[in-house]
Amino acid sequence: MFNYGFRADQDHSDVLAHARGDVNGDRIPENVYLYGTKAQDGSYITNITLVIQNVMSGMSVKIPLKENSGYNPTLFLGDFTGDGVADILVSIATGGSGGIMIHYVYSFINNVPRLLFDFEAYNEQYKYDVTYKNNYKVEVISRENKVKYILDISYRDKEYLDEIYNSERKLKKPVSGFVNSLSVLYPVDFDSNGVYELLAYQKIAGRYNADSLGYIQNTLKWEGNRFILADQNVAIFGQQL
């Protein structure tokens, strides 16, 4: 539920981030804030809330976030839909070992909040299978677009490979990896037309989370009424020279 009509300066939470831009389409910049409650050490933050303030009236709209706790919350204003009005990207680090983050994109056209991107929905949609193969290869299958990638891990150290493969480069037993949930989500205007795409990173892991093999990089582009997969790449870790 959205809270209309309260004054932001009456809220006793801490201001965590601030940006200024026209987000409702009236060509007058609004103040956009993230408010929250800091822990005693100032790092972990709870009750993170998006607040949009009309600079003319001083009145604000308060938008609670479904997942509203974490570290280092940030704001970015940019047009993701091509309507010429800035949308709002909210990003929050969870602090987990996998670098997983919370991301929401909101539109505020005509002072009506609309959720355009939800990180949980993204994580449900973009699933992968990671399977070790003979000859020091790892197969990554993207279920969403049915694309297969083959990673060459022959650069890994001998001790690592010997735990998985025999002397003939055959698997000693079946081994599976996994792809983490969404980590960073970058706004990038790839074609320099003033409309931003979303560049999403998900880490490919081997037998355990610290066993990093690379990243899935999905480029999402707004089409019609949703973000679609416009491009996909895999960035792999190689051997340092």
- 5 pLDDT above the threshold of 70: no
Considering only residues 236 and 195, tell me which one the structure prediction assigns the higher pLDDT. Answer: 195
Average pLDDT over residues 211-236: 96
The predicted model gives 46-52 an average pLDDT of 97
- Which positions ≥6 away from 16 have C-beta within 8 Å? 33, 34, 35, 36, 45, 48, 73
Domain boundaries, the chain: 3-118, 126-236
Beta strands in the chain, from DSSP E residues, in sequence order? 3-7, 14-21, 30-38, 45-53, 59-64, 71-78, 87-93, 101-107, 114-118, 128-133, 137-142, 147-152, 176-179, 185-188, 197-205, 212-223, 226-236
Q: What is the pLDDT of residues 73-84, one digit of tens each?
A: 999 999 999 999
Q: Taking residues 178-203, report their average pLDDT.
A: 97
Q: Comparing 7-16, 195-204, 207-216, which segment has the lowest mean pLDDT?
A: 7-16
Give CA–CA dist 56/211, Å, rounded: 53
DSSP summary character for residue 218: E
Helix residue spans in the chain (DSSP H) = 119-125, 158-164
Dump pLDDT digits (tens) for 144-184: 999 999 999 999 999 999 999 999 999 999 999 999 999 99
Higher pLDDT, 40 or 118: 118
Q: Which of 94-103, 104-113, 130-139 has the lowest mean pLDDT?
A: 94-103
pLDDT of amino acid 10: 46
Q: Is the pLDDT of residue 11 over 90?
A: no
Q: Is the pLDDT of residue 241 over 50?
A: no
- The one-letter code for the residue type at 45 is I
CB 44 within 8 A of CB 71: yes
- Say if residue 6's pLDDT is above 60: no
**Residue type (1 letter), 167:** S
Q: Mean of the pLDDT values across residues 217-236? A: 96
pLDDT for the residue 238 = 60
Is this structure's pTM higher than 0.85?
yes
C-alpha dihedral, 176 to 208 to 67 to 118, nearest 10°:
-40
From residue 52, alpha-carbon distances to 64, 74, 109, 178 in Å are 11, 14, 12, 38
Average of pLDDT values for 62-70? 96
Question: Of 74, 75, 22, which is closest to residue 53 (Cα–Cα)?
Answer: 22
